[in-house]
Amino acid sequence: MASLQFDTNYWEGKLGDVSKHSLDTKLHLILSLVIYLSVSVRQLLNFIFTSEIKAVKDRASRFLGYTPTHTDPNGSFPAAYIFSLWLERCKSPAQREQIIQMIAPVAQAAVLEDSDRVIKDMSLQIRIKNLTIAGIRELLDPSKLAAKYRALAPFFFDMLHVFATSPNDYRKFHIPKEEEEVEKEGTDNSTPDWNDPNEDYDEAGHSDAAPTSEWEGFAGFSRNPIFAEVGDKNGSSWAV
C-alpha cells in the first residue's frame, strides 16, 4: 500500500514535539514549507484529492463528508464553507463567468431531478375517465399546487422565486411611494390574510389571491410570484 515518503518518525526527528504548538503556528509552518518548496495551491489540492495514499484519502474524505451533528456550523460540510469563502474572493466578471459555467451542469441536473419528480407524481396526473369539475378544481387549487411544487421541485421553485421577486425598475420606483402613502393613510387592520380566490382575476385568468403579507413586499413582479408559470420541455405549463 502506498504511503507518504516522509512519515511521523522523520518529522519527529526534524521538529521534535509539536503538540505544544498552536494550530495557527502549525498552519504557518505548513504554508511556509509550501512556499519554500515552490508548490502552488493548485498542485497541493490536486495531490490531496487525487492521491491513492490512504492517510491522504482519509483526510480528503472527511473534508468532503457531511456531518449534520457537528458542533460548528461551518464544520458540518467543510467543502461548502470553503466554497463560500472562495466565492467571496472571486470579484471579477471573468471569474464569475467561470463559476457560472462550473455550477451550470449541477444546477441543470438538479432541475431535471425536480422535473422528474413532478412528472412522475401520481397526484398530478389527469385521467380522463375519472375527470370531474370538482376534481379539476381540486387539482388546480393555487395554494395546493404551490405547496405540491415546492415539495417536489425545491431547487427549481427557489430559483423561480428569486427570479420573480427580484427588483425591477417599475417596482423599485413605485413601492417606496406606495409605502409612503400607506403610512400617511394609516394601516387598515381589517384586511384579511387571504384574498377571495374567486375575485381579482385578470383577462388571462391569473389571480393575485395569496397571503399578501408573504409577497407584496417583494420589489419584483406586481403579481404574486408564487403563481409564476413556466413551460416544461414538452410545451405544457405548470404553476409554481
Per-residue tens of pLDDT for the chain, all 240 residues: 789 999 999 999 999 999 899 999 999 999 999 999 999 999 999 999 999 999 999 999 999 999 999 898 889 999 999 999 999 999 999 999 999 999 999 999 999 999 999 999 988 877 777 778 887 888 788 888 888 889 999 999 998 888 877 776 666 666 666 556 656 555 555 544 444 444 444 444 444 444 455 555 555 555 555 555 433 434 444 444
Q: Final residue of a domain: which of 34, 55, 89? A: 89
| Total number of domains constituting the chain | 2
pTM score > 0.85 for this model?
no
Q: Is 201 helix (H, G, I), strand (E, B) or coil?
A: strand
- Strand residue runs (E) in the chain: 229-231, 237-239
- Same structural domain for residues 112 and 216? yes
- Same structural domain for residues 229 and 120? yes
- Same structural domain for residues 232 and 131? yes
Domain that holds residue 159: 103-187+199-239
Beta bridge partners of 194: 211
- Same structural domain for residues 75 and 108? no
- Does residue 28 fall inside a structural domain? yes
- Does residue 109 fall inside a structural domain? yes
- Same structural domain for residues 108 and 84? no
- Does residue 194 fall inside a structural domain? no
Q: Is 83 helix (H, G, I), strand (E, B) or coil?
A: helix
- Same structural domain for residues 143 and 77? no
Q: Final residue of a domain: which of 27, 57, 89? A: 89
Q: Is residue 60 within 8 Å of 44, Cβ to Cβ?
A: no
